[in-house]
Amino acid sequence: MPALLERESSAVERSIARKLWTIDEYERLSDLGFLEGSYELIEGEIIEKMGQNRTHINLIMFLTQWLLDVFGRDHVQAQGPVVITRETGKESKPEPDLAALNAPLSHYTKRNPSAADVALLIEVSDTTRESDLGTKADMYARAGFADYWVIDVQAEQIVVHRDPTAKGYGIVTHYAANHDVSPLAKPDAKIAVAALFPADDPE
Amino acid sequence: MPAAVAVLDEPLDLGKDRIRWTRTRYHQLIDMDIVTERTELLDGDIIPKMPQNPPHRITLYFVSAWLETVFGRAFVQQQQSVELSDEDSEINEPEPDISVLAKPIPSYQSGNPPPDEIVLAVEISDTTIHKDVGKKARLYSRAGFPEYWIADVNKRQIIVHREPTDNGYTSIVSYSGEEEIVLLAKPEAKIAVSALFPADDAQD
């Protein structure tokens, strides 16, 4: 246990060493009904997923439709789990907002998609901005997800993470309004940042 | 002095949204063998107890042995859960390293000793000093434990907390070396602080 205390690499710092859960324990808790609501396991911590506000819901719907157009129907997973290579003492089973898959969903009947199966990973971030850009970005990079986008609601940007390494993403680019962004796997497709954040809110 | 020990703030990143457990749920986790290691419940977090290294174990032995001679063996319990104030009980179940009880252990057949029957709580602290100085001092003070000691194994000092209030202990004094320490409940009993820790050369 002291070894866990001394870990400094994790952004989930602990003033007091809490129990860290394994994927097996987490799945058992879920099966036994201990987890009411929506959770994910991030680096051994069971994290409650924040309730979605209207902006979040609208962005997810908008992006889902765009991803379906670009990657094809049956190639998009919403809020489903992806596999992260087990890391001792900080196992994870995240459920990213959106994942565009290389193979149709029918391909995944027995297992969850992992980095090799995912063309593009998206988290829509309002209240979870710090962890999506921090702990989760490092975690997805270590697991080798090639293209990770954070839709930063506060800054009205798309933050594109590429070149995953064991120490985090090598390239992190912030795209503000008046830019278009293309998925790594579909360089011909484009989404305008401005399209995600309409300038004039009718209210 | 205890004031020099900084209690770190909660991280801003993911940890803030972590699951919190009620005591009922915590007991279910233990009963169903999901949590099998030794733990405490503090403010809804499940905290594994650190394995005891030799200095910790020896200090626990010295402090317990002395308290047993002063109060009697039947009044001193080790690593058993205690009750807190009603408002804290729902998400807390700490196990002080030592608690001195108002009545002999066999009197408590139907549950943990109530907070007003804890005469003294002691934590032996090495790697857990932040938890013991911060969170536990707050909980024990709100429960009204009249005296709370932290035996700091690394600094070989006893931090004596007295005068509990809802906002924490208002009297916090540390004693070390040959200074004598006195028990609130038994003012005639005294011991030199150094006698409660393993010999100096036994430490790294």
Write out pLDDT tens, residues A153-168.
999 999 999 999 999 9
Residue A35: its chain B contacts at CB < 8 A?
19
**B7 near A CB under 8 A:** yes
Contact B116, B144 (CB under 8 A): yes
Residue A138, H or E segment: helix A135-143
Decide: helix, strand or coil at residue A79. Answer: coil
Among B13, B22, B30, the strongest candidate for a mutation testing the A interface, having the largest count of A CBs within 10 A, is B13
* Residues of chain A numbered 97-136 and touching chain B (CB < 8 Å): 128, 130-131, 134-136
For the ranges A62-76, A187-201, B109-123, the lowest mean pLDDT is seen at: A187-201
H helix runs in chain B, sequence order: 23-31, 54-71, 86-89, 129-131, 137-143
b vs e for B172-188, b when ≥16 Cβ sit within 10 Å of the residue's Cβ? bebbbeeeebebeeeee
Predicted confidence (pLDDT) at residue A3 exceeds the cutoff of 70: no
Task: Reduce the secondary structure of A88-120 to three states and give it as a string.
Answer: CCCCCECCCCEEEECCCHHHCCCCCCEHHHEEE
Q: For all residues of chain A together, what is the average pLDDT? A: 89
Give the gap in angstroms from C-alpha B10 to the nearest C-alpha of chain A. 7
Task: Specify whether the CB–CB gap between A13 and A6 falls below 8 A.
Answer: no
d(CA B144, CA B166): 8
Contacting A residues, span 9-38, partner chain B, CB-CB under 8 Å: 11-19, 25, 28-29, 32, 34-35
Residue A48 β-bridge partners:
A39
How far A82 CA sits from the closest chain B CA (Å)?
18
* DSSP bridge partners of A130: none
Distance from CA of A156 to the nearest CA of B (A): 20
Place A201 in a pLDDT band, splitting at 50, 70 and 90: low
Cross-chain CB nearest to B18 (options A2, A15, A45): A45
Within 8 A of A3 by CB-CB distance, chain B residues are none
Q: Residue B137 has what DSSP assignment?
A: H
Residue A150: list chain B partners with CB under 8 A: none
**Is the CB of B13 less than 8 angstroms away from the CB of A134?**
yes
Q: Show residues of chain B in contact with A48, CB under 8 Å.
A: 17-19
The phi, psi pair for A9, rounded to 5°, reads -70, -30
Q: Which of B8, B9, B19, B132 to mutate to test the interface with A (most CBs of A within 10 A)?
A: B19
Yes or no, beta carbons of A18 and B8 under 8 Å apart: no
* Ramachandran category for residue B82: left, alpha or beta (phi over 0 → left; psi -120 to 50 → alpha): beta
Q: What whole-number distance in Å separates Cα of residue A166 and Cα of residue A41?
A: 20
Token couple for B16: 């803030």
Length of chain B: 204
Q: Give the 3-state secondary structure of residue A69.
A: helix
Least confident stretch, A10-19, A32-41, B70-79, B148-157: A10-19
Checking phi first, is residue A163 left (phi over 0); if not, alpha (psi -120 to 50) or beta? left
pLDDT of residue B6: 31
CA distance B120 to A131: 42
**What is the predicted pLDDT for the residue at A203?**
55
pLDDT at A198 over 90: no
Pairing label, strands A76-78, A98-101: antiparallel
Q: What is the pLDDT of residue B200?
A: 74
> In chain B, which among 77-136 make CB contacts under 8 A with chain A?
127-128, 130-131, 134-135
Query: In this complex, is the C-beta atom of A5 within 8 Å of any C-beta atom belonging to chain B?
Result: yes
ipTM: 0.80
Q: Which amino acid is at B45?
A: D
What is the residue type of B123?
A: E
Q: Which residues 164-203 on chain B approach chain A with CB closer than 8 angstroms?
A: none
Tokens coding B186: 């038994």
Quick check: A44 pLDDT over 60? yes
R_g over Cα of chain B: 17
Q: What is the pTM of this model?
A: 0.83
- Give B31-51 pLDDT, tens digit per residue: 999 999 999 999 999 999 888
* pLDDT for the residue numbered A61: 95
Least CB–CB distance from B19: residue in A43, A46, A135: A46
DSSP helix/strand/coil, A157: strand
Instruction: Give the separation between CA B95 and CA B73, rounded to whole angstroms.
Output: 18
Given a cut of 70, the residues of chain B with pLDDT beneath it are: 1-14, 201-204
Interface of B with A in 32-51 (CB under 8 A): 32, 34-35, 37, 39, 42, 45-48, 50-51
Report CB contact under 8 Å: B48, A19: yes
**B204–A contact, CB cutoff 8 A:** no
With helix as H, strand as E and coil as C, how does B84-125 read? CCHHHHCCCECCCCEEEECCCHHHCCCCCCCHHHEEEEEEEE
Measured distance CA(A28)–CA(A186) in Å, rounded? 38
Identity of the amino acid at A84: I
Which residues are CB-neighbours of B105 under 8 A, at least 6 positions away? B74, B75, B77
What single DSSP character describes residue A18?
Answer: -
Q: What is the gyration radius of the CA atoms in chain A, in angstroms?
A: 17
Residue B15: predicted pLDDT: 75
Distance of alpha carbon A135 from the chain centroid: 11
Chain A residue numbers with beta carbons less than 8 Å from the beta carbon of B34 are: 25, 28-29, 32, 34
Check: CB of residue B127 under 8 Å from CB of residue B56. no
